[in-house]
Amino acid sequence: MRRVVVMDLSRHNVLVVGDRRWFVLETAGRAELVLDSCPHRGGPLSLARLTPDGRRLACPWHGTRVGTAAVRRTALPMVRTGDEAVVVLPGVGPEVPVTARRRRVLANLPPMDPLCDKENGLTGPVNGNLTDTTAGTR
Amino acid sequence: MDALAGDPLFAGGPGVLHDENPYRRALLPDVAAEVDFSRPLTAGTLDGPAALTAHRALGTLYEAEHVLLPEAGLAGLRGDFDHFYGTALRRLREASISDLEDFAFAFLDDAVTITGNCTVEDLDAYFQHAVDEAERGDAPALLAIEAASDPAVAADTYLVQLALDGLTEASAMSRNLGGAYGPEQSALFKIFIDEFGYGVFEAKHTTIFAKMISSRAMRTHVHAYWNFYLPGPLATNNLYYYLSRDHSKFFRYAGAVTYAEAVFAPAFVKMIRTYRNIFGDDVDLHYCEEHAHIDQHHGRITREQVLLALAERHGDGVVPELMRGIAEARLVGAWFEEDTAAQIRWADRPAAYRERGEQTAGGEVLRHVELAPGHPFGTRNHAEDVVLVVARGEAELVTTPTGTPDRLRRGDAVHVPAGRVYGVRATTGECAYRVHRAATEQ
């Protein structure tokens, strides 16, 4: 079972599917719709900041550093044409509510200033693989 | 581009229509000289002279890789044949075609992205979505025809855009018939032989297309209406050559051709309805009826036996390219429709654009054009709104392939929106006109 939804990326950057949420992560000029959930305790990665090396997101809840490559592996199939994104939702039936929203996304801001790292308490565990987190959705 | 557009074969002639000579077509060196070919087209420059010039040239280079012979025989055209396919132009083609493709199509890299972990099932879901959307959606060009004050001329303008492919149909597809790639190759070949009428010339799609435009009293030789092809339709035609010339793009081609075959059938059903409303039984729509029928099969065959079969055989690694091909065909196909609709709407209202020209004629002079007797006729467009003002003599403004040109006298002004394609032909011995940047309306 698959469901296809269309998002206007000029207006929305978050897709809520049932009780799960995906946000638009922009990496290397590409917009990807990734799971907004830290593999540690489910914190909102959309509110994470990039680490100074630009390779990981530091979760705002416990400072868990999640590799962006691992985050990108959670991306939903998406075809972007201009501002239009056609998103394929595997395993989502017509009864599941789907909503597109606009939210503040910090994960797309430039990497943090290293001097701020300690002040933000970003010393938590590193998780580089989220595949298992999303295995049930595919 | 200077060498290509400056070649005598591409200088154009005084006639509005091109003669029965498939080797000659106007490439307008003066317009080509305005284009900065170091800056590839972007989504924002698709309707300007850069796109028109590049796609005219690119289409010419692609066609030089296929066989074109005049129906009336080569007798007086042997020299042009030898030059069109000769060493000098072949070397020029080989040296420039990849750069010109980059210029014309690199925008697709930014315009379309495929992300996420895409499987065969995701591919099929996206494909079905794209086809359903096309079936349910409006056809902008047909709506423009139906709304036109002169729907017959508007309908002819649309036929001309279809003629670009209709008179050389499936040439791009022929480039993917060779090699060895299993049952998918045979599936594509089934479609190809339908296009070619199973070897019967009377049933070949190009033949029945010619009968359709002949029933509208239009010329049937290849590129008679070269001057009236719009950037969107030129790009659409070139897209399939682009994707099939370079076999690294094979999976993109497979996605694009599957989308095209699937949306053709419902599109031709809509076209039949529009054309019957306008012409009744006075037009031969066998070509449309054939496609409305056979493309149901082609849509099914390409989906099941090409698109999904390739994905199943070669794995999820090729799925993003197949999806990209669908998205690119959808994007460029929309450009075809919107561009044609905009041209029809503009050309259908000459009085309104004359009135508007009176209001907007005060802007900076961009060009001063002298038309001497026998001056080659060519059509062009501009990247911004301009106003044409006749400075001396009399002229005809030509905006449609079959409509009556708009007669312009000294002092007359016409507003030409960005992207609209026009030509000016002197009707007195000499004529001059100015191209102004459109001023703010008063």
Question: Where residue A137 falls among pLDDT bands split at 50, 70, 90?
Answer: very low
Q: What is the mean pLDDT of chain A?
A: 86
Question: Which residues on adjacent β-strands are paired with residue A33?
Answer: A24
Task: Give the pLDDT of residue A133.
Answer: 26
Q: How far is CA B55 from the centre of its chain?
A: 8
Please check the confidence at residue A122 and state whether its pLDDT lies above 80.
Answer: no
Task: Give the pLDDT of residue A28.
Answer: 83
Residue B139 CA to residue A9 CA, distance in Å, equals: 25
Residue B442 CA to residue B438 CA, distance in Å, equals: 11
Question: Where residue A115 falls among pLDDT bands split at 50, 70, 90?
Answer: low
Task: Give the pLDDT of residue A131.
Answer: 26
- Mean per-residue pLDDT for B248-257? 98
The single residue listed with the structure tokens 């501002």 is: A83
Chain A residues in contact with B117 by the CB 8 A cut-off are 73, 75, 77, 138
Complex-level ipTM: 0.89
Question: What proportion of chain B, given as a percentage, has pLDDT over 70?
Answer: 100
Among the ranges given (A17-26, B192-201, B207-216, B228-237), the one the predictor scored with the smallest mean pLDDT: B192-201
**A7, A79, A131, A134: best mutation site toward chain B, by most B Cβ within 10 Å?**
A79
Cα dihedral across residues B199, B224, B237, B261: positive or negative: negative
For B382, the token pair is 């501009």
- Mean per-residue pLDDT for A40-67? 96
For B23, the token pair is 């080797």
The single residue listed with the structure tokens 């890789």 is: B65
Please check the confidence at residue B169 and state whether its pLDDT lies above 90.
Answer: no
How many alpha carbons fall within 13 Å on the CB side of residue B201?
Answer: 1
- Which amino acid, one-letter code, is at B412? D
Over residues B342-367, the pLDDT tens digits come to 999 999 999 999 999 999 998 999 99
Please check the confidence at residue A134 and state whether its pLDDT lies above 70.
Answer: no
- Mean per-residue pLDDT for B183-206? 94
Strand A78-81 and strand B112-115: the pairing is antiparallel
- Mean per-residue pLDDT for B92-111? 97
Residue B402 CA to residue B398 CA, distance in Å, equals: 9
For A5, the token pair is 């939804």
Contacting B with CB below 8 Å, chain A residues are 2-4, 30-33, 72-73, 75-82, 86, 88, 90, 138
Residue B157 CA to residue B6 CA, distance in Å, equals: 28
Task: Give the pLDDT of residue B374.
Answer: 81
For B125, the token pair is 């879901």
Chain A residues in contact with B111 by the CB 8 A cut-off are 81-82
Of A2, A30, A76, the CB nearest to B121: A2
Residue B360 CA to residue B332 CA, distance in Å, equals: 32
Please check the confidence at residue A118 and state whether its pLDDT lies above 60.
Answer: no
Please check the confidence at residue B436 and state whether its pLDDT lies above 70.
Answer: yes
- What is the DSSP code (8-state) at residue B43? T
Over residues A76-111, the pLDDT tens digits come to 999 999 999 999 999 999 999 999 999 999 999 999
Please check the confidence at residue B259 and state whether its pLDDT lies above 90.
Answer: yes
Question: Where residue A29 falls among pLDDT bands split at 50, 70, 90?
Answer: confident
Please check the confidence at residue A71 and state whether its pLDDT lies above 90.
Answer: yes
Question: What proportion of chain B, given as a percentage, has pLDDT over 90?
Answer: 96
For B319, the token pair is 């799925």
For B374, the token pair is 């026998």
3-state SS class at B335: helix
Please check the confidence at residue A128 and state whether its pLDDT lies above 80.
Answer: no
Of A75, A81, A90, the CB nearest to B115: A75
Question: Which residues on adjacent β-strands are paired with residue B380?
Answer: B422
Q: How many CB atoms lie within 10 A of CB B416?
A: 25
Residue B353 CA to residue B426 CA, distance in Å, equals: 20
Task: Give the pLDDT of residue A116.
Answer: 57
Task: Give the pLDDT of residue B362.
Answer: 86
